[in-house]
Amino acid sequence: MSPPKDSVRYLIVNLETATVPYVAVVPYFWVRNGNKRVYPNTRGDISAIRQEVLTDKWDIYNCVIRKEFDSYQAAREILQRPCEQSEITSPSEDKLELARAAAEKHQ
């Protein structure tokens, strides 16, 4: 059972697929254990908009959550326009990038 449609938050996630990296907008309840993402084999965007209930036939991918939004439309707007990387980077990723830069500076 999915939550009421007006209370659903959406996430921009990076999916780790077998062939290519993929960025998707998904309802938060499709993400499990913080880094596993269930995704339909076809029509993922339509399934996300409709907030379809998960099924055993959907694939499971590792994912990285980039940012959270109040609506599907708000998340899609960020993905459809050119933007700074920081607009869709989570705070933990920002900290990781700062640590990498500091380490490179000291080498």
- Look at residue 44 in the predicted model and tell me its pLDDT: 84
Amino acid at site 64:
V
Q: Cβ distance 60 to 37 under 8 Å? A: yes
- Cα–chain center distance at 8: 14
Kindly report the pTM of this predicted structure.
0.66
Give the residue carrying structure tokens 């907030």: 51
- Look at residue 64 in the predicted model and tell me its pLDDT: 87
Profile the chain (107 residues) by mean pLDDT over runs of 10 residues: 66 84 88 77 85 86 89 88 51 51 53
60 strand-pairing partners = 38
- Look at residue 74 in the predicted model and tell me its pLDDT: 92
- Look at residue 45 in the predicted model and tell me its pLDDT: 86
